[in-house]
Amino acid sequence: MLHGMRVVELSQLIAAPLCGLTLGDWGAEVVKVETPDGDYTRHLPPRLPSGESAYFQMLNRGKRGVCADLRTAVGRDAVSALVETADVVVESLGEGSHHLGIDPEELCERRPALVWCSITGLGRGQGGRAIDPSLQAAMGMMALTGTPAGAPTRLPVPLIDFMTGMYAAQSVLAALYRVARGGEGAVLDCAMLDAAATLASSSGVHALSGGEPLRRMGSQNPWYVPADNFRAADGRWVQVMAISEHHWRVLARALGHPEWIDAPGFEDNAARVANREAVHGSIADVIATERADHWATAITAAGGFCQQILEIEEAWAEPTLAARGLVARLDLSGAESQPLPTVSLARDRAGRAAEPTPAPRLGEHSTELAEEVGL
């Protein structure tokens, strides 16, 4: 899809590297520029047998690597020369691009087909700084996560970072499509705040429309009952939810209690929401009589929704993930191939994910790329 295009990535951590990774999986050549200290994720655990960071490999596989000290004139000149060869620039420098002596707007005026994608916390020119947890806090996501009696809780995955990277890749593709149809490129403003607001929009509907404010309610749902986690006889947990009257009837029968379907206080979703504790209590009593895998199989086979809650290790061992190309084996020199999440959604026409190749060593391609750009 993007074969023959060069993406220059000036970034680290998650959002911008994920954007670059996705464009690379769609066929672009991605050149990652790092400072002599390297991307922060190079230093994160877990470590692979080769000594490299699994996190860095996951987000930077398949890229070419350049090391440049942006505090020096030589480093800035090298990056400027590399940018001149790019079809797309993805950066998370904040206002730092101007310190490189590069004005994205001026550059795009001079090179109308260029797509420049800036990824920031709060938006270009807005000032301030943001990271995933601070935006979870700012957008009410922490306030809604946890139990009613507990403290606000951080989501244990950097959801906003990953969503921002996906948004940015979408924006770049739209801009490249316009270029391909004879239009001009763009300076794209992709803020983590945008992704956070989208993720929180279902609660934003309540906040902006004058609805009843949402509050922490653990794993329950404000609109649907039943919806909760239930402990089975073996101590494992299942997540159960009925999103329609059809699914409620299926669930009641699968639990062996068809009389619940029309029972007072259980007869429709509005009644069940009003009698949340009684409905959930009745279901909890039944779930506690059998193993979690029994209920997951029985309810799902009947056409309902019941998922055994898996530990992380169990989840990533599920064969469906590998079959979908969501886990791939990366061949690292001097070590056995390493399974890693692919994290990108790019697929070819046959639905296959890109064949992964290792991330670059720090500055691995600096010399050859310097020769390519005439330095």
Type and span of the H or E element at 295: helix 292-301
Give yes or no for residue 351 having a pLDDT over 80. no
- When pLDDT is averaged across residues 166-172 and rounded to a whole number, the result is 96
Here the CATH number for the domain that contains residue 86 is 3.40.50.10540
Give yes or no for residue 348 having a pLDDT over 80. no
Radius of gyration of the chain (CA): 25
Assign 284 a pLDDT band (cuts: 50, 70, 90): very high
Judge if 128 and 242 occupy the same domain.
no
Contact 113, 184 (CB under 8 A): yes
Half-sphere exposure of 275 (CA within 13 A, CB side): 16
Judge if 119 and 261 occupy the same domain.
no
Query: What percent of the chain lies above the pLDDT cut of 70?
Result: 95
CA 143 – CA 146 distance, rounded (Å): 8
> How many distinct structural domains can be found in the chain?
2
CA 25 – CA 342 distance, rounded (Å): 10
pLDDT at site 373: 81
pLDDT at site 56: 95
212 lies in a domain? Answer: no
CA 221 – CA 237 distance, rounded (Å): 17
Last residue of a domain, one of 308, 334, 356: 308
Structural domain boundaries enclosing 152: 6-199+321-372
Burial level of 56, CB count in 10 A (0-12/13-18/19+)?
buried
The model's pLDDT over 286-316, given as tens digits with 9 standing for 90+, comes to 999 999 999 999 999 999 999 999 999 999 9
Judge if 294 and 354 occupy the same domain.
no
Here the CATH number for the domain that contains residue 250 is 3.30.1540.10
Last residue of a domain, one of 272, 287, 308: 308
Spatial neighbors of 241 by CB under 8 A, at least 6 apart, are 221, 224, 226, 227, 228, 247, 305
Judge if 45 and 163 occupy the same domain.
yes
pLDDT at site 97: 64
Q: What angle do CA 230, 236, 239 make, to 5 degrees?
A: 40
182 lies in a domain? Answer: yes
172 lies in a domain? Answer: yes
DSSP reduced 3-state for 61: coil
DSSP code of 47?
A: B
96 lies in a domain? Answer: yes
Last residue of a domain, one of 308, 337, 364: 308
Q: Which of 292, 304, 295, 296 is closest to 241 using CA atoms?
A: 304
Q: Is the dihedral of CA 140, 141, 144, 150 positive or negative?
A: negative
Judge if 291 and 344 occupy the same domain.
no
Judge if 161 and 19 occupy the same domain.
yes
Spatial neighbors of 352 by CB under 8 A, at least 6 apart, are 325
Judge if 368 and 290 occupy the same domain.
no
Query: What percent of the chain lies above the pLDDT cut of 90?
Result: 73
Judge if 355 and 303 occupy the same domain.
no
Give yes or no for residue 34 having a pLDDT over 90. yes
Burial level of 89, CB count in 10 A (0-12/13-18/19+)?
buried
Judge if 266 and 331 occupy the same domain.
no
Among 167-176, 208-217, 253-262, the least confident range: 208-217
147 lies in a domain? Answer: yes
64 lies in a domain? Answer: yes
Judge if 302 and 332 occupy the same domain.
no
Judge if 14 and 107 occupy the same domain.
yes
Q: Which of 159, 46, 141, 85 is closest to 372 using CA atoms?
A: 85
Among 51-65, 139-153, 267-281, 347-361, the least confident range: 347-361
35 lies in a domain? Answer: yes
pLDDT at site 95: 65
pLDDT at site 113: 94
Judge if 37 and 153 occupy the same domain.
yes
DSSP reduced 3-state for 309: coil
